[in-house]
Amino acid sequence: MGSNLGGRLGGHRPFTMLFVSATMTFLVLGSLFLLSHDHFTTIVRIVLLGLFGMSTNPVLIGAAVRYADQAPTLASALITSSFNLGTAVGSWIAGFALETALGATGPVLVGTCVAGLYFLPLVILLKKERAAANHAGGVLSTTAS
């Protein structure tokens, strides 16, 4: 459901979709870390995490394919591989956090930190898009909104 929603909304305003999804993912994970003792709201947060966390993938794959003008299949494969690598490395780090005094909330804290780091490349990409739009005559395309 998150991928479908992200693809539909991200097709018109990709950076808006990416920033909203990143912000909501960060907030949902942070609240899950702090308030995971309440079972009902934890279930709601996990559903929201799936909705917002998965909504960025189609937008990012589309951007990679667009940037890789001459090799769209390679770009699609590489970005999907990077998602898989990130999942593997994040799970590995979360496993160490699970063994700390934080227990079951350790992996959630790792996810919250990773979600916070997501803003760094996102801001760089947005600045690159805006600079390219300014260089092209000041018209900001729909891809940089």
Q: Mind listing the pLDDT tens digit for each residue in 72-129?
A: 999 999 999 999 999 999 999 999 999 999 999 999 999 999 999 999 999 998 898 8
Angle at 15 between CA 13 and CA 19, to 5 degrees: 120
C-beta separation of 8 from 80 below 8 A: no
> What is the Cα gyration radius of the chain?
17
Residue 110 host element (H or E): helix 106-117
Question: Whole-model pTM?
Answer: 0.82
Q: Which residue has the tokens 């994970």?
A: 29
Q: Which residue has the tokens 């891809």?
A: 143
As a whole number of angstroms, the distance between CA 45 and CA 36 comes to 9
**pLDDT of 137 above 80:** no
At 8, is the pLDDT very low, low, confident or very high (cuts 50, 70, 90)?
Answer: confident
pLDDT at 97: 96
C-beta separation of 33 from 40 below 8 A: no
The mean predicted confidence, pLDDT, of the chain is 88
62 CB contacts (<8 Å, ≥6 apart)? Answer: 7, 10, 11, 14
As a whole number of angstroms, the distance between CA 72 and CA 62 comes to 9
At 44, is the pLDDT very low, low, confident or very high (cuts 50, 70, 90)?
Answer: very high
C-beta separation of 77 from 29 below 8 A: no
